[in-house]
Amino acid sequence: MSDPKVEKEAGSTEPATEPAQAPAPEPEKKKREYKEFGHDEEEKPTHAKVDMSQIQLKAEDLYDKEKVDLETIVVDDVFKLLQCDENGLTDEEATRRLELFGPNKLESEEQNPILQFLSFMWNPLSWVMEAAALVAIALSNGEHRPPDWEDFVGIVTLLLINSAIGFYEERNAGNAVKALMDSLAPKAKVKRAGQWREIESSLLVPGDIISFKIGDIVPADCRLIEAVNVSIDQAALTGESLPQSKKLGDQCFSGSTCKQGEAEGVVISTGPNTFFGRAANLVGQDDDTTGHLQKILAQIGSFCLVVIGIFVLAEIFCLYAGFRYSYRRGLDNILVLLIGGIPIAMPTVLSVTLAVGAQQLAKYKAIVTRITAIEELAAVTILCSDKTGTLTTNKLTIDRDTVRTYGPFSAEDVILLAAYASRTENQDAIDQCIVGALGDPSRARAGIKLLDFKPFNPVDKRTEITYREESTGKLKRVTKGMTGIIIELCTRNKTEELEARLESDVEEFAQRGLRALAVAYEELDGDDPEAEGNGFELIGLLAIFDPPREDTKQTIDDALALGVKVKMVTGDQLAIAKETGRRLGLGDHMYPAKVLKDGPEPGSRFRNLDEMILDADGFAGVFPEHKYEIVKRLQALGHLCAMTGDGANDAPALSRANVGIAVEGATDAARSAADIVLTEPGLSTIVHAIRGSRIIFQRMRNYAIYACAVTIRIVVCFSILAFAFKFDFPPFMVLIIALLNDGTIMTLSVDRVLPSNSPDSWDLAEIFAFALAYGLYLTLSTVALVAIAIRTTWFFDKFGVTLHNGAHQAVDHNDPQLHAIVYLQVAIISQALIFVTRSHGFFFMERPSVALFCAFCVAQLVSSIIAAYGNWGFTNIEAVSGGWIGIVWIWDIVWFVPLDWIKFAMKATIIKRLRARHHAAVAAQASQTAETGVPMTRTTSRAASVHESLYSNRVSFLRRAARKVGFGQKISMKPEELQRFSSIQAARTGSVLARHPSRPTA
């Protein structure tokens, strides 16, 4: 963000002893020479070779540059062709043209809500459930029994509920993100009916007169009708590295940036008809699916499918070949594994968690434009932050205590005279801070009569005012600007001693992070304001600085506490960067950007450049290519990097970073390249986003452990029961368990969890190890219950409870009341597992969200009611007594308590070894990449395999919201294509107006 400021600021801190150039000629002369240079290469304007009184362009005319070439025809013909004048369009005509041409933004394809809803059922896990539904309705016809309608309806209901929840949350999140993006809608200054006003640029139409100045984005394709030292950066469109000078009559393209000067133009094309829009349509939309999370989903899904597949095959061989089960009986057992083992809600839960996460980050004014950024931000280890506007306020201030004076004037006099030499309207940052220092801006013109004012320009690097002092009637002149320029003008008091003192003061300012602005003064004899004065006298040196934001130091401390090291990356001078780093507690191990090319100096404590970059607290004098190099090398050392940026030229570094962050006030090009767009200034928003992303990551990790554990618990448990006791659990009751589980688990997306104090990453070996331990333990709890009920009369002896027909034990292994007991036991303890997986310590030490706790209570109440009153003959269960319900609750509580100890034992043994092995592997990889120089690559947007690509992540709501406000459009076209394109687009505009004229055809 500092680059534009460095270009504009008159007060550089460079020493005054730099090689002096010849005295700067008068600005008027420079302008004349500049124009003459431009005219030398200017082609003579031509006229359109059509009858301008009857604008009837035909189809073949659109590509015929011999007739109409909007790049070279005179501007008068452009006005005739577009049926407008320099006073702009009337409101009525603008409204008519808006309906005719459409809004000035790229068209976005609206997704069919029905297809969006059904897309939640399109992944391998859902396919298994859909296959189970087909098995229940199509393959269950046999042995004189009707199709299994109950299971079929239950499975379809489960799929529809999952899709409905995901659809609802995604739409809500999409609306929240879009609302925040709409607040960033670009504005345009337009003349309507002779009056200038500011409107949303989407309301511009061909024929509008627009105005833009330095720093503005050109809102639509236009021809210039006024141009003052205009320079346009078209790098985002054409790849041209240097800004292009524009003169009267030249064309400027939508999306380019004005780097210098002021201009007015007539709009010739808007929206999809602009160069930007046409090129974007040619390129098409990137498929922003999230490859990394897809990979995780695919691996977890594969784990579950492999477990299910193994036990399904085991049941087929054991039940049919070994036990000689009938066709339907064996099929029901297989359905139990398919329905209960598939974590059908996993894609929906994770996508809802991410969607809700995006919505929550939007509350911190952070727009997520790439959904994986939430997950990757949780793993970031180094944050490379811009200085200006992010670490500092980006509001220049005069430090009154350090003003240096060199003549008879006091510090307050120097500030007042500097304010005279400042603009009071259309101010740049320097003029604004100087005039603001007076307290009352009217003092900048009080008691004087302005005769001549020369504003700042990048060539002269100073401003100048000639005025008449009303109290004395004398003519005086004041100039302020870059110290090296001003001291060359000072002929009256310029001495070696003064220059040495000035150089010393400037160096002191630089060491303290202050910018120096020199002020000089002269008097004029006579009444001619253009006459030479009696010679400038250096009267003072102002200290200007950009103070750190109030919250920055605390925010940096918070980032360090989260395990994220902050490195300052600034275009400012090294001394300024060091001083800012010291004030913020970042440290002052700052290096100039040239070390990235030259490497560490011989004899330094660094063996190579990578060590130096890793040790550095920041870099100064940085250009965009340096940012890219810093990120690339840090990634090669095994770090995940976040990089902030604000300009179109930051796009390569933002794209290269694991998480590219466009700071508040960034250009559209930077926003398009970034993964996260901030709408509030400061570093605190980024740290909030890091903390928020870790909370979201913890929710996803907790659910992943839970889902895998329940898969193992259901599949292994009911397979063992079938093998050991020929126990046939009803498939419909597994559906009820899955339905209640999914309803509860959806609330994990808003669960209250503690973020990790160190960067997060997916370790699937750790997840599967936890899942295996929990799953086998819960299996044991159910098998023990069934074994006691079948083999002994212990429950009758101790509690006096009986089973079907008063049996003291389950002589019939498929006793319908035993089915209800097993249902209740499995439902309660399986769902209670989530309270163990979501906590780091004892489950009761971390309070869950109200939504999760209430959902659990409701689900278990429903389960208990089903066990108490569910006399469902179609699914072979029978209601049990209250005594059995109490026994099952106590049984589950007794078995639940040791789960925390299992978690601690796993952490102390297996998980500890897995983490040590993982850290060793990461260190080895970092060492290898440091030696070979092979950089780590960021996660790609497309899945690496067909299997992974089937796990579609829910990012369409982000893409749609982004397209509606023009984000995410990355295009490129060769410069030679521009000229041909320009004539085509405006000719098409003219032909549309010809078919819908605003005036009678002659």
* Residue in 386, 546, 610, 742 annotated catalytic: 386
User: What is the rounded distance in angstroms from the CA atom of residue 581 to the CA atom of residue 547?
Assistant: 12
Region for 665 from its dihedrals, namely left if φ exceeds 0, alpha if ψ lies in -120 to 50, beta otherwise: left
CA distances to 102, 233, 237, 663 from 275, in Å: 16, 15, 9, 27
Strands 257-269 and 382-385: unpaired
CA distances to 696, 704, 830 from 775, in Å: 24, 13, 9
User: What is the rounded distance in angstroms from the CA atom of residue 321 to the CA atom of residue 25?
Assistant: 102
Residue 386 catalytic? yes
204: number of CA atoms within 13 Å, CB side? 37
The burial class, CB within 10 Å (0-12 / 13-18 / 19+), for 598 is exposed
* Phi (first) and psi of residue 419, to 5 degrees: -70, -35
- 818, 860, 834, 827: which is closest to 721 by C-alpha? 818
DSSP state letters, 802-829:
--GGG-SS-SSTT-HHHHHHHHHHHHHH
CA distances to 322, 530, 793 from 445, in Å: 103, 20, 103
For residue 916, the one-letter residue type is A
Q: What angle do CA 464, 467, 469 make, to 5 degrees?
A: 140
Is 243 in contact with 226 (CB distance < 8 Å)? Answer: no
| Greatest alpha-carbon span in the chain | 124
CA distances to 111, 352, 500, 956, 960 from 171, in Å: 11, 10, 67, 10, 11
- 93, 88, 102, 263: which is closest to 190 by C-alpha? 88
CA distances to 50, 231, 256, 931 from 222, in Å: 21, 15, 11, 52
Beta bridge partners of 543: 516
- 103, 417, 79, 38: which is closest to 224 by C-alpha? 79
What is the 3-state secondary structure of 227-293?
Answer: EEEEEEECHHHHCCCCCEEECCCCEECCCCEEEEEEEEEEEEECHHHCHHHHHHHHHCCCCCCCHHH
List of residues 6+ apart from 938 with CB closer than 8 A? 635, 656, 657, 658
Strands 187-192 and 221-233: unpaired
CB atoms within 10 A of CB 568: 27
- 685, 890, 729: which is closest to 332 by C-alpha? 729
User: What is the rounded distance in angstroms from the CA atom of residue 311 to the CA atom of residue 162?
Assistant: 26
User: What is the rounded distance in angstroms from the CA atom of residue 709 to the CA atom of residue 698?
Assistant: 17
Is 781 in contact with 717 (CB distance < 8 Å)? Answer: no
Is 340 in contact with 743 (CB distance < 8 Å)? Answer: no
Q: What angle do CA 143, 147, 150 make, to 5 degrees?
A: 130
User: What is the rounded distance in angstroms from the CA atom of residue 582 to the CA atom of residue 584?
Assistant: 5
User: What is the rounded distance in angstroms from the CA atom of residue 325 to the CA atom of residue 901?
Assistant: 41
Strands 641-645 and 618-620: unpaired
> What is the gyration radius of the CA atoms in the chain, in angstroms?
36
- Residues labelled as active-site residues: 386
